């Protein structure tokens, strides 16, 4: 089967101009392929480039050297060089990203936050709301919280809103950065089930999970990012 994501020789460094010009090389000449219906867990210590890789795939971080090819609508697009218009489209339909923390927008209700990706895909509002409510129920968010802004929610509740939004629509590529970090065991189990359902439906999932048991339950393969410089990947 063809790879849905082909990462070719990427390098990423950060230069901190106001901290004596410190330079941090996070990835160097890194290559790897990812496939549909496969869950990959990135492992390695802090600073090994796990989150950086996810963000580069999403084009949240810029790619200086190398290419990140994603299969979008039957053509290959290099996320490092694509036009903004194409990137918006890819983020809407092809690559989904769930960060570690919810970026709360004041005044937008939890339900509206969750269904935003569906509305962006032009789904009718009542249909989207029905799906949103289902998702909120599944993640055990009490109904009295659905119509208020998540600004006052607990960390765990906010993260569940974040996850609901990230998982409500199907994406061929799903990027998850510590999705289960602030969840209790019950909700963690639900999230893992949702992820596995998505993968079974064809998604390529790439994620960072700190909990060993989560890693074991989710991963079809693991990718060890440890060591300062990455060379050719060792495939699972």
Partner 1 sequence: MTGMLNRVDLPLLKVQNLSKFYGGTIGCHDINFEVAEGEVVGIVGESGSGKSTLLKCIAGTETPTNGAVYFNSLFGFIDLCQADEILLRKINRTQTGFVTQNPMDGLRMNISAGGNIGERLMANGMRNYGQIRDIAREWLDKVEIDLSRIDDLPTTFSGGMQQRLQIAANLVTDPKIILMDEPTSGLDVSVQARLIDVLRKLVSRLKLSMILVTHDLAVARLLSHRLYVMKKGKIVESGLSDQILDDPREPYTQLLVSSILKP
Q: In the complex, which residues of this chain contact partner 1 (CB under 8 A)? A: 14-18, 55, 59-62, 84-85, 87-88, 105-108, 119
Q: Tell me the helix, strand and coil percentages in the chain, rounded to 5.
A: 35, 25, 35
The answer for residues whose C-beta is within 8 angstroms of residue 162's C-beta and 6 or more apart is 98, 99, 101, 102
**What is the nearest approach in angstroms of partner 1 to the Cβ of residue 116?**
9
Cα 46 to Cα 40: distance, rounded to the nearest angstrom: 18
85, two tokens:
């218009």
| Helix (H) or strand (E) run with residue 162 in it | helix 155-167
Alpha-carbon gap, residue 115 to 143, rounded angstroms:
15
- Cα separation, 63 vs 57, in Å, equals 9
Q: State the nearest-atom distance from the C-beta of 64 to partner 1, in Å.
A: 9
Taking the C-alpha atoms of residue 95 and residue 203, their distance in angstroms, rounded to an integer, is 10
Instruction: For residues 204 and 35, give the distance between their C-alpha atoms in angstroms, rounded to a whole number.
Output: 6
Name which of 106 and 142 has its Cβ closer to partner 1: 106
> Which tokens sit at 214?
């989560």
The dihedrals phi and psi of 119, each to the nearest 5 degrees, come to -65, -40
Q: How far is the CB of 85 from partner 1 (least distance, A)?
A: 6
Q: Which is nearer to partner 1, 108 or 181 (CB)?
A: 108
């Amino acid at each position: 089967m063809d790879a849905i994501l082909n990462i070719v020789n990427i390098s990423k460094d950060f230069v901190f101009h106001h901290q004596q010009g410190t330079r941090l090389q996070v990835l160097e000449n890194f290559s790897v392929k990812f496939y549909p219906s496969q869950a990959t867990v990135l492992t390695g210590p802090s600073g090994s480039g796990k989150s950086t890789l996810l963000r580069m795939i999403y084009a949240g971080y810029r790619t200086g050297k190398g290419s990140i090819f994603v299969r979008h609508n039957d053509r290959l697009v290099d996320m490092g060089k694509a036009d903004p218009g194409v990137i918006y489209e890819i983020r809407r339909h092809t690559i989904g990203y769930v960060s570690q923390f919810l970026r709360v927008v004041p005044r937008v209700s939890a339900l509206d936050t969750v269904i935003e990706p569906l509305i962006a895909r032009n789904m009718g509002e009542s249909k989207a709301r029905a799906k949103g409510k289902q998702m909120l129920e599944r993640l055990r968010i009490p109904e009295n919280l659905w119509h208020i802004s998540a600004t006052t929610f607990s960390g765990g509740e906010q993260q569940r809103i974040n996850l609901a939004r990230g998982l409500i629509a199907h994406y061929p590529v799903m990027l998850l950065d510590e999705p289960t970090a602030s969840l209790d065991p019950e909700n963690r189990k639900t999230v893992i089930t949702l992820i596995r359902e998505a993968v079974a439906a064809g998604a390529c999932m790439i994620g960072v999970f700190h909990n060993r048991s989560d890693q074991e339950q989710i991963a079809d393969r693991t990718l060890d990012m440890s060591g300062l410089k990455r060379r050719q990947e060792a495939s699972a």
